[in-house]
Amino acid sequence: MADVAARAGVSLKTVSRVINGEPRVAPATAAAVAQAVRELGFRSNHAAASLASGRGVASIGLLIGAVDDPFYARLASGVEQVARAHRHTVLISSTEEDPELERDAALGLAARQVDGMIMVPCSPDQDYLTPDIAAGLAVVFVDRPPHGLDADCVLSDNRAGAHAGTAQLLAGGYRRIGFVGNDTTVYTSAERLAGFLAAHADVGLAVDEHLISLGPRTVIEAEAATRALLARPDPPQAIFAQNGPMTMGAWRAVHALGAPVGLVGFDDFALADVLEPPVDVVAQDPVELGRQATTLLFDRLADGDRPTRHITLPTHLLTRS
């Protein structure tokens, strides 16, 4: 910047003014500075500017499980929409559902002085963020609640959604229903299993625990798990699948078998309506989850002392069969 000032024959302050588009600079001066900038290939040092001004860098961090999971991708899209309206950049990192990576990525974003952070937690405890929050970092949790600290949070009504989806199968006359999902250390999986069980309890039906398959994380694993259920001597008559990949896997297994097995899934997915048979799903709105979480984040950035808010969004049963 000193070089630019020297070349343009002005002071540092004037260069700074021109670069930042401040008013009250004589047009001729501004032109001279602009030319010097061009000739010297000058790039303002963001780190120095941010240090000197004390201002943030107008960015927020987003921590999701994986960029290539459509649920997270749509959530990220909602975050970007709101962040863009607030003229903030979104820096996305993935945790791969690994607590170590979550911690590294979260602290890494915090160290990078993001103004705030939105995260889908996967570690058993996020109290490692407490010092940063105390030092002014705004954090909002989405899809899953925080553990070890209180913070703003946006969730879907997983339990009610799973309850409604299961109830629909029960109303269809199915009595032996399998559950295919992640293990219950994943908050949403635990909640959806609870809704599944509650729907059975409501009609006084016992659940055969052998029909509950916890663990699969991918389409392929879910397909294998569903196959295993259907191969039992007392197979389920229907499957409730706990998220998009689980539902695709379950549908594949059912489809391959060719037998009439009922299926309801949690989360809508592309082409679910045109499969043969089509798939009924409990749809949540991932874009809206992202939007609301980001709105909470900017609210908190505006007022760090406001009480924490916990929002729960409804789900909708889409009947297609």
Partner DNA sequence: CTGAAAGCGCTTACAG
Q: How far is the CB of 132 from DNA (least distance, A)?
A: 13
The H helix count followed by the E strand count for the chain is 12, 12
CA neighbor of 139 nearest in space, from 297, 308, 316:
297
Among 132, 131, 134, 137, residue whose Cα is nearest residue 115: 137
Q: Decide if residue 172 touches a second copy (CB under 8 A).
A: no
Report the alpha-carbon distance of residue 236 to residue 263 in Å, rounded: 11
Residue closest to 270 by CA, chosen among 71, 117, 97: 71
As a whole number of angstroms, the distance between CA 100 and CA 106 comes to 10
DSSP string, 25-62: --HHHHHHHHHHHHHHT----HHHHHHHH----SEEEE
Q: Does the footprint of a second copy cover residue 292 (CB under 8 A)?
A: no
Is 16 a residue that touches a second copy (CB under 8 A)? no
Stretch binding a second copy (CB under 8 A), from 60-68, 188-196, 202-210, 313-321: 60-68
Minimum distance of DNA from residue 59's CB (angstroms): 16
Site membership for DNA, residue 58 (CB under 7 A): no
Both structure tokens of 103: 């911690």
In angstroms, what is the minimal distance from the CB of 8 to a second copy? Answer: 17
Nearer to a second copy, 208 or 221 (CB): 221
Kindly tell me which of 151 and 212 has the beta carbon lying closer to a second copy. 151
Cβ proximity to DNA, 55 vs 232, nearer residue: 55
> Using an 8 Å Cβ cutoff, are 162 and 168 in contact?
no
Q: Is 126 exposed, middle or buried (0-12, 13-18, 19+ CB in 10 A)?
A: buried
Least distance (Å) between residue 23 CB and DNA: 6
Residue 1 engages DNA in binding (rule: CB under 7 A): yes
- Shortest Å, Cβ 149 to DNA: 23
Among 5, 25, 73, 194, binds a second copy (CB under 8 A): 73
Q: How many residues are there in the chain?
A: 321
Residues 6+ apart with CB under 8 A from 259: 230
Q: Which residues bind a second copy (CB under 8 A)?
A: 38, 41-48, 50-51, 57, 59, 66-70, 73-74, 76-77, 80, 89-94, 105, 108-113, 131-132, 134-135, 219, 248, 251-252, 255, 269-271, 274-276
Q: Which residues bind DNA (CB under 7 A)?
A: 1-2, 9-14, 16-17, 19-20, 23-26, 28-30, 42-45, 48-49, 51-55
